[in-house]
Structure 1
């Protein structure tokens, strides 16, 4: 992938990690341009947001600050890792579940 494609998609890629609304905004903005770099990070960001919301519901039922804190820290690290990779122009999957997101949302951005 050339550097122009990466530079044009960086903003959308970073936005995709900012909550579910950011992922949807980046997805809509990328519909016209079809930027491959942005699409990769949109799939990662959307997957992280959906997983965070689904697991967060169940983690909240435990009523334990230790479990909740571990959950927040773990997902915080994953989101931060995604933003750093997007900002540095790398297409590297989020650890543990990134490959699953690429398969699950493979039709987004194409």
Structure 2
């Protein structure tokens, strides 16, 4: 495995590159599979064909719609992996007799327009 930031070969179990100090899968200059220098906007390595973008399996559209329609229950936060905030949204909605449901509704809009783009694990949301 190679560091995506500096291209140095790293142990597959390493979380941080010892040469540059960045997280091993964070960065955009080298392929983590073959070490080939890549264009920073490339989504696939031209040498080995591996996907370079860290795109998760969670959808931005699904998260946004869950926020719009079920945001008062924090369902969109549970979907994105933010369990604690999801529970907090339920509590706020109950304590405020439903007024707190605006929080989830507004977050649903923000997800759809692109202000939220990562899940709890740091993966980009799929379009």
| Bigger RCO of structures 1 and 2 (CA < 8 A, at least 6 apart) | 1
Shorter-chain TM-score range: 0.3 to 0.5
Q: Answer 1 or 2: which has greater helix percent.
A: 1
Q: Which has the larger radius of gyration?
A: 2
The TM-score normalised by the length of structure 2 is 0.32
Which of the pair is proportionally richer in strand? 2
